[in-house]
Structure 1
């Protein structure tokens, strides 16, 4: 493979060296992007953790490659976003074809004034490498334990006990909380006897990464019934290092073991790229699934990423959804550990991220149904939509080759405070704060450390409670005015530590701010808001 895999060092745990094994605030199981990102988020908030992983290298194969703007903003807050963008392939245009005919194209970020691009393509192994490097910036707060496999979990009222298997033997590790970031086949989920709910689609796809010199554009290119793969669908993405991702629909009857052999893959790829040299770098066969746990918090065990929910790959909702889980969970878990959280804060992680998972599952299921029609009527509808899309704008909205990942707006969250409908909807409570140029560079560069009170234009903010930073911008940029003020002369916005908007007013006093802060910390029920 093109990427040079390096083994992470294994160290004998204290318990197997005859030393005490201290109880940990948080044990994170799984050192993929989700688990590593959570460890960094907690460290930035002063909470130590130990990360346990049964492997000692980054993920083999490119796996998740498409990282959305919102996810890049989260990674930027964690300290790896700029490195990812520098290495990754930036893109924002997607093109959809029926056969050889282009039926539709779209621009995911038509406006200026954002620090992060709409999407980058970057192999998961690079993302994990950068996150491991960043973890090492916190030697007192993050302990990475490779070749440490969790084989049993006991849960009590105030914590968990893990049995961990290593090359030197088995030991016991206690923690106040355990967060399962151990993937779609989550052993921790099985240990607790938890079942996924949802749909397994009868469809299989081949993923192939090839190394190839080519001048194809850095765009998402999707084909329905291409001439090179008759009757099926195909997708192509450019990655760094002259690596290209190709997805090919195979059908439910395909034999996964046979289809994943190079002698079967290479002729298929040659039909896609033509008579040019290439080398097969990595391949995998996957089955469409759209499933999740009923809830993501079970006592002292919390689930995030693929251990909590899985979707089909089209739309880039798996990896992005997992990182956005971490963004939601990190500050809430830290507040609970530090004794600052109200009783409703940690349960809101499950409520909000179940909403996000359902949104991703809905979009992923619709994409799957459009891409793989099951009846003659469904196929007739799909083909007619594709025929009309090049000329009729209404039909373009129906073309569904994977609605690409967008951040969930937590409308209706129990943490949301009051809203002034005179302000633009894009920055309403529950939404991620939209970025914009600010006096210090970019708005989001100053959001995400803790709660912040953002005062824009002519609005005069009340005194902020201890621990809430006030950011005053009397002369907002044009982009900030459009996204935050609209026609209003001023606005006051309470921003959560995950950069989501908690409440906003055109004017407010200290009592209103205090009530909104209580709500955002899970300390006050909804009916107490403005009564």
Structure 2
């Protein structure tokens, strides 16, 4: 059932490539105009790389689908120029509560400290995010979105890929140096290459419903084990914009997916939960899920991202958030390779880093699912014992797993230099930087991540000597003023400290005191230039 009308529809238009006698060649073709494909294309276009984005549909707005976007994702969207409309429309939240029956077991705060531009999470229907991304894409001269352009054929070559694209006016071929497959869980490109997922398929079924109503629930994440309105199962409640509430109800593995979506089955369940019938259904679906991924994300010049590369359960909001982090990791590396500033082997680090991130997400997602929907008597006894203990024992509260919420990945790769010195603070090698409020040289308020933008950058704390030269350098106290001390605390900054930041705002290296040679070696490693002559 889907009662949500189409919100945004885009017309097909014929392009010049369809009239060429031979296939046009493009540096990058992205397949799939969902959040991951759009973020990849926008990021590349902002870096000056020409991108063609193909999608077989011509609309967005059929169901809210993903709704929870984490702080790190919002920071990425801010760099891409779309965070503002998302924040203005979205429901901001940071508090969660976990219940058993009617009793609250515990509450948690996902961002208890100040000094961050972005909130812990926002809830926003996916169609609003996609619309903001499409509008941003339309502003970029290097980005061409082609709706109702369906990829029906793929041929790999040593120096690129040829795609056959079907349109309402017939098919045509396109050549690409690189193809990014962001065409979702049912990826056609994955099928064309004969690639299979490995991992686990879960049989439990869940009802997902968007309900429009006036509600007194606060903008928090509420999760119930065995609620009185849904005996023996679990339930989840989130607030969305437009007076729409997301409700998830566990149904069990034997539920009839088609029958459970019928209004005569859904409405009584929702009425029992809410205690009234002053609501309307916006969108209803029944889903099962997988925790699986491709063995490799990079296959020659075809690179997979988002659900086309990996799938997780919805518990913890790890799907779209991890997919957008795929896009962030890949875009700067592809841009360097295309500009000839890095070897093609740099894309192997995308495969290594995001494969590890997928494994981390799959691990968290699998453990959450096993706790929420135990599949054996032993798992059920363990879950019930933990819930009983959590009422009285603080240590047991940490064992309750209602979905570990999405966190950014820390990359354990050769890109990180040895971290022999002792460092405190919240910064970690390989992790994205924490934000901090600063002042610039004109005494204007700026945020650290805004100042970094998407470029490789050195941050230097002066110690009376000459700051590092020859690259983009931000000097604390000159370019950026840490008037409230957030930077000093979070970065454990002392005179002489220097930090090398990757284009995706992850920390590549740091030194208490360094030399130009050490910085150059770390920069070359960042670009995959180990062992190559300058």
Asked if Structure 1 and Structure 2 have the same fold, meaning a TM-score greater than 0.5 normalized by the shorter chain, the answer is: yes
Query: 1:459 Cα shift?
Result: 7.6
Structure 2 residue aligned with 1:218: 219
SS in 2 for 1:415: coil
Of 455, 473, 485, the match for 1:478? 485
SS in 1 for 2:24: coil
SS in 2 for 1:35: helix
CA contact (8 A) 2:4 2:62 kept: no
Deviations 1:320-366 (CA, angstroms, capped at 9, x unpaired): 00000011000000001110113542100000001110000000000
Q: Distance in 1 between matches of 2:409 and 2:306?
A: 15
Query: 1:297 Cα shift?
Result: 0.4
Deviations 1:222-273 (CA, angstroms, capped at 9, x unpaired): 0000011111000000000001000010111011111111221111111111
Comparing 16-25 with 26-35, which one deviates more in the overlay? 16-25
Deviations 1:411-458 (CA, angstroms, capped at 9, x unpaired): 2x1211233532236323201011011123110001133110001364
Q: Distance in 2 between matches of 1:404 and 1:252?
A: 24
Q: Distance in 1 between matches of 2:464 and 2:127?
A: 46
Note if 1:520 corresponds to 2:526: yes
Structure-1-length-normalised TM-score: 0.95
Comparing 91-100 with 372-381, which one deviates more in the overlay? 372-381
Query: 1:202 Cα shift?
Result: 1.6
Note if 1:144 corresponds to 2:145: yes
Q: Distance in 1 between matches of 2:346 and 2:276?
A: 57
Q: Distance in 2 between matches of 1:74 and 1:386?
A: 36
Q: Distance in 2 between matches of 1:283 and 1:19?
A: 47
Query: 1:525 Cα shift?
Result: 5.8
| Structure 1 residues 460 and 428, CA gap change in structure 2 (3 angstroms) | farther
CA contact (8 A) 1:462 1:509 kept: no
Deviations 1:286-332 (CA, angstroms, capped at 9, x unpaired): 11210000111000100000000000001000000000001100000
Q: Distance in 2 between matches of 1:438 and 1:250?
A: 49
Structure 1 residue aligned with 2:443: none
Structure 2 residue aligned with 1:47: 49
Structure 2 residue aligned with 1:497: 503
Note if 1:464 corresponds to 2:466: no
Structure 2 residue aligned with 1:241: 242
Q: Distance in 1 between matches of 2:57 and 2:305?
A: 19
Of 506, 511, 514, the match for 2:512? 506
Comparing 142-151 with 415-424, which one deviates more in the overlay? 415-424
Structure 2 residue aligned with 1:416: 416
Structure 1 residue aligned with 2:32: 30
Q: Distance in 2 between matches of 1:217 and 1:461?
A: 53
Q: Distance in 2 between matches of 1:371 and 1:87?
A: 31
Structure 1 residue aligned with 2:8: 6
Note if 1:429 corresponds to 2:457: no
CA contact (8 A) 1:418 1:516 kept: no
SS in 2 for 1:230: coil
Q: Distance in 1 between matches of 2:332 and 2:404?
A: 29
CA contact (8 A) 1:54 1:149 kept: yes
SS in 2 for 1:446: helix
SS in 2 for 1:250: strand
Unaligned stretches of 5+ in structure 2? 441-445
SS in 2 for 1:207: strand
User: How many aligned residue pairs are there?
Assistant: 522
| Structure 1 residues 419 and 425, CA gap change in structure 2 (3 angstroms) | farther
SS in 2 for 1:25: strand
CA contact (8 A) 2:425 2:489 kept: no
| Structure 1 residues 260 and 338, CA gap change in structure 2 (3 angstroms) | same
| Structure 1 residues 92 and 459, CA gap change in structure 2 (3 angstroms) | farther
Of 425, 439, 450, the match for 1:445? 450
| Structure 1 residues 219 and 102, CA gap change in structure 2 (3 angstroms) | same
Q: Distance in 1 between matches of 2:465 and 2:320?
A: 40
Q: Distance in 1 between matches of 2:120 and 2:466?
A: 33
Q: Distance in 1 between matches of 2:127 and 2:518?
A: 46
CA contact (8 A) 1:225 1:233 kept: yes
SS in 2 for 1:23: strand
Structure-2-length-normalised TM-score: 0.95
| Structure 1 residues 359 and 490, CA gap change in structure 2 (3 angstroms) | same
- After TM superposition, the structure 1 = structure 2 runs for residues 197-216 of structure 1, keeping only pairs within 5 Å, are 197-216=198-217
Query: 1:462 Cα shift?
Result: 4.4
Aligned alpha-carbon RMSD (Å): 1.7
